[in-house]
Structure 1
């Protein structure tokens, strides 16, 4: 299995391939796109800034570094959908990214864009983004007919479900699964929550929630029992909200970027599932977080490389589980399930 790591600069690419990453994925958001058509336009899901490269020239240099180390580079075009009038500009950018920069594959969610890319450049290698929400065998068949090369499973798809989807897709496709960092409150491919107010409301542990009393008509139950029921519901709601905020802090906010006792990042994890993922045919393991610091990315690659070597040395699934919990440095949190993609 290969390690797929996020990058947002040439220097990061040099560092991460030297640590063991064999695949890199990046975003591109040149100034022409940000200012186009009188509004902010993003080529990919991440906003302009530290999650993206700023120019085709930088992408070209990054690809050169990666290829020199035997690694590949994938470009994200993973908005769930694009306005049809943008397709021509996207195709022009793709031609430059492939011919001038040398990117090896495109990560795409929009079926319409996939179709246009394959019509315009049949040789294009396309990976179906997790934003396309490929959650069943029918979806695998659909994208396979469009000519894609790789299926990227969304977060939280159970390995047993992956297995049935891989059996449907066959060996002509490649398969990729999430392994470290960054959870999501909803299924990302179906999420339309607003990110316009300092981050999506679902990501904000400080967001204020409260139960509301429902006004009832006269001749309903006596007031005292109704008030008592509201208090009970309010207490239950408070307990549920506390748990929800704890999960946000651990699984979504990754403890605010904190590390475990061994120096590896906390947050979402699927390391215990490595033997099973390999057995069912997953070939690429995705480390999440293009916007993360290089320190976190490097620590994630080191952790995954260490666990892959351990797993592929012939250790049992239970031994892999014990080693993963030890390296992660958060045994209690592993037991809670707050950080686990696949349990």
Structure 2
């Protein structure tokens, strides 16, 4: 299994490579990728340097073009495909079928991966993309149980990549409308959930308030750490109670599932977090490199070490970890 790690910047890319990533994934500095935050992502110079750094060390670079083109900005997205191909990326991570067709026609040698934003959750959908667009790998959405992942792997020849660690999303990935409901800008084609221009933190007598386009998302007491406001992970008053009514902040951690995922035939484990710091990338990559090597070396004797769990806990949302849908009881 390959270890696929996030690179929101050139320093993060170098940390990922140095700490043991097999692949890094990144995006351009525009709305063509789903982490379109100011200060993140790659311009032409940084991309060229990053690809050189990774390739010199035998690692791969995957470029995310995983948003859906706006009707009046099609040229922006297809130019991004051309730029990626020109730079020699090892694969494009795409969600929009039109972009897939363009890439197939203009750059037939360019490897394509179906993004989690494509929301392909069954093998018929995956095989459709492989048949029509030569998709080589699919990133599964974080809504499938482990048994469902096994069913998918057993019924397709396409490589399967699953998320191993990082933030969760309660929405069907690629179909979220919450941010656009409040801000008027859809993350699926603007590339960002909760755009920074709509975010405000305001001290009040009741505590520090976070707002999105004026809508109160959360209120923090003095001892609490304030997080970036997203609607799905806000605290709301429901029937007189204040709590995380939609989704409680927690990070996915599948370390204990590694032997089963390996036996299933999963091709790659993905670490979420292009929006996080280079230090996050380094710490997460180190743990997962060590764990993955241990699992592949001796699956029967593999154990999750306490220091791995402790290290990842410090990186987790809300300092909480979960297996998410992998072990859901209502499947």
Does the TM-score normalized on the shorter chain lie above 0.5? yes
After superposition, residues 106-125 of structure 1 pair within 5 angstroms as 106-125=92-111
Choose which of 81, 84, 91 in structure 2 pairs with 1:94.
81
| Structure 2: stretches of 5+ with no match in the other structure | 180-193, 200-228
1:257 matched residue in structure 2:
none
Structure with larger Rg: 1
Task: Quote the residue 2:223 is aligned against.
Answer: none
Unaligned runs of 5+ in 1: 34-41, 212-233, 252-266
Q: Does structure 1 residue 159 correspond to structure 2 residue 140?
A: no
Is the 2:255–2:291 Cα contact (8 Å) retained in structure 1?
Answer: yes
1:127 aligns with 2:113: yes
CA distance in 1: counterparts of 2:296 and 2:124, whole angstroms: 32
State the number of aligned residues.
274
- Of 247, 254, 278, the residue aligned with 1:294 is 278
Residue 96 of structure 1: CA displacement? 2.3
The alignment status of 1:200 with 2:183, answered yes or no, reads no
More helix by share: 1
Question: Shift of residue 104 of structure 1?
Answer: 1.1
C-alpha separation in 2, matches of 1:108 and 1:59: 18
After TM superposition, which residue ranges in structure 1, 4 or more long, deviate above 3 angstroms? Answer: 241-245
- Greater share of strand residues, 1 or 2? 2
Q: Distance in 2 between matches of 1:104 and 1:85?
A: 29
Normalising by structure 2, report the TM-score: 0.76
**Does structure 1 retain, via aligned residues, the 8 Å contact 2:62–2:89?**
yes
Distance 1:147 1:204 in 2: 40
Residues 244-298 of structure 1: CA distance to partner in whole angstroms, max 9, x if unpaired?
58x623x1xxxxxxxxxxxxxxx32111111111111111111100010111111
For 1:136 and 1:12, the matched residues in 2 are separated by 33
Determine the C-alpha separation between the residues in 1 that align with 2:38 and 2:26.
12
C-alpha distance after superposition, 1:46-66 (max 9, x if no partner): 12323311x112111110000
Aligned equivalent of 1:285 = 269
Distance 1:25 1:124 in 2: 15
In the alignment, the residues of structure 2 paired with residue 61 and residue 102 of structure 1 have an alpha-carbon distance, to the nearest angstrom, of 12
Structure 1 residue 313 corresponds to structure 2 residue 297: yes
CA deviation vs aligned residue, 1:93-144 (integer Å, no higher than 9, x gap): 3222222x22111111112211222122221211100011111122112111
| Cα-Cα RMSD | 2.4
Please tell me whether the aligned partners of residues 9 and 40 of structure 2 are also in contact (alpha carbons under 8 angstroms): no
Q: Deviations over 1:67-97 (max 9, x none)?
A: 0010011111111x21244333322232222
